[in-house]
Structure 1
């Protein structure tokens, strides 16, 4: 307690590391522009479901960053990682933050335009 990052430490003394979500598929094939629209809608409405705007902002920055930077962002924001793919996190006050996979990675059935 009182130690920076102590809430991130698992019982065996190791820090939970962020990893990419497992491959997933959207219910229907989706274009990159549709995926971006879904992400924008999620991030615009997420703070209205509770929790701190600062934590939501940190989670968005982490979701849009590479893994090393994402780890630094959540560590410095005091985010407690429940699932290493960032789908479930908590802040230091116990507020829960759930992120859909579509804000964390692209689906396997993304339509790529040639």
Structure 2
């Protein structure tokens, strides 16, 4: 009994909902092409920072899609979210994954390619 007073189980700590990152500004103006190059370089080297490649792949997929699908990707991969904007996450084995804001959103000072 007592179902009406039951609360959701937060046992694994993975119940945090993803949110859009806060706006940020790059130290200098940056073009979309430069931003994409920075992102590609990060994702190409990310597995060398430690952790598992499949988790890095899931984080990349989550970073490059809308919030609803990103939440599904993170949940299905067993990723534990410390920061709701995905800047700090952990896998089920406790490995830490840090994502720079530039892979998650665009800066406020993004300029058109010239």
Q: Kindly indicate whether the alpha-carbon contact (under 8 Å) linking 2:19 and 2:85 is maintained by their aligned counterparts in 1.
A: yes
Q: Which runs of 5 or more structure 1 residues have no equivalent in the other structure?
A: 10-14
Cα drift, residue 73 of structure 1: 0.1
Q: Distance in 1 between matches of 2:101 and 2:89?
A: 13
Partner of 1:12: none
Q: Distance in 1 between matches of 2:25 and 2:64?
A: 19
Partner of 1:90: 90
TM-score, normalised with respect to structure 2: 0.88
Number of residue pairs matched by the alignment: 105
Cα drift, residue 93 of structure 1: 0.2
- Structure 1 residue matching 2:89: 3-state secondary structure: strand
Runs of 4+ in structure 1 over 4 Å off: none
Q: Which one has a bigger Cα radius of gyration?
A: 2
